């Protein structure tokens, strides 16, 4: 019987530690939150460029972010795509962070409050909780669904929360495990379990129901 932990171990053996977003300061925490918004349906490479620009402009602070004009911000973040939407979202999130002390909240309440923010959906909320606040909330994305439905562990048409529950009930609630697992899922989806999968070279092929 294939379990999520078994898959995790195989991924970790093959890809090793992914070193995603180690948080050591409040400044980096805000950077992660910004990154989570900017990377919505966008490759991380484009986001990295924009984060560099925002650093140079001294904008990695919520107080600065709400001061800058939305139009100017949109121009600065242009390479990340959807720049008009995302400029608005960055300002809304910044305003929210100045008015709410997320760090003082429990995971469930934090998630509920984050989901009330326009521009923050389930994946972005869980990414912020897991990587910016180091609290265990499993992140589900298109890759997670793709890989685990091909492996036959979940249904392809499962909802976000169903998939999230599947992982949270079948894994130890461990922050570092959740962080590393999501990063490994992204890596595996990029390397092998692509939209057009490279099953021939995939190290999970023996366990996979969906050999193509």
Residues that bind DNA (CB under 7 A): 20-21, 35-36, 39-46, 78-79, 81-86, 117-125, 127, 131, 141-143, 157, 159, 183, 186, 189-190, 194-196
Between 173 and 194, name the residue whose CB sits nearer to DNA: 194
Q: Where are the beta strands (DSSP E) in 14-81?
A: none
The 10 Å CB-count burial string (b at 16+, else e) for 77-92 is: bbebbbbeebbebbbb
Pairwise CA distance, residues 56 & 59, whole Å: 8
We find the least distance from the C-beta atom of residue 49 to DNA, in angstroms, to be: 7
Nearer to DNA, 132 or 153 (CB): 132
Looking at beta carbons only, is 65 or 89 nearer to DNA? 89
Residue 66, number of CB atoms within 10 A of its CB: 16
Minimum CB distance to DNA, residue 136 (Å): 16
- Residue 125 or 153: which CB sits closer to DNA? 125
CB of 47 to DNA, least distance (A): 8
Shortest CB 123 distance to DNA, Å: 4
Contacts of 207 (CB under 8 A, 6+ apart): 2, 6, 7, 10, 151
DSSP 81: S
């Amino acid at each position: 019987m294939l379990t999520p932990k078994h898959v995790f171990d195989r991924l970790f053996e093959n890809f090793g530690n992914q070193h995603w977003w180690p948080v050591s300061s409040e400044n980096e925490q805000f950077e992660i939150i910004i990154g989570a918004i900017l990377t919505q349906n966008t490759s991380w490479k484009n986001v990295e460029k924009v984060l560099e620009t925002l650093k140079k402009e001294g904008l990695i602070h919520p107080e600065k972010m709400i001061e800058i004009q939305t139009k100017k911000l949109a121009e600065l973040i242009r390479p990340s795509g959807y720049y008009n939407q995302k400029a608005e979202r960055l300002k809304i999130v910044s305003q929210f962070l100045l008015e709410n002390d997320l760090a003082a909240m429990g995971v469930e309440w934090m998630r509920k409050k984050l989901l009330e923010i326009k521009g923050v959906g389930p994946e972005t909320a869980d990414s912020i909780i897991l990587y910016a606040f180091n609290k265990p909330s499993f992140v589900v994305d298109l890759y997670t669904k793709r890989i685990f439905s091909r492996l036959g562990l979940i249904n392809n048409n499962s909802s976000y929360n169903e998939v999230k529950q599947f992982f949270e009930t079948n894994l130890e609630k461990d922050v570092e495990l959740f962080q590393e697992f999501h990063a490994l899922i992204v890596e595996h989806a990029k390397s092998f379990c692509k939209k057009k999968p490279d099953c021939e070279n995939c190290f999970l092929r023996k366990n996979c129901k969906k050999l193509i």
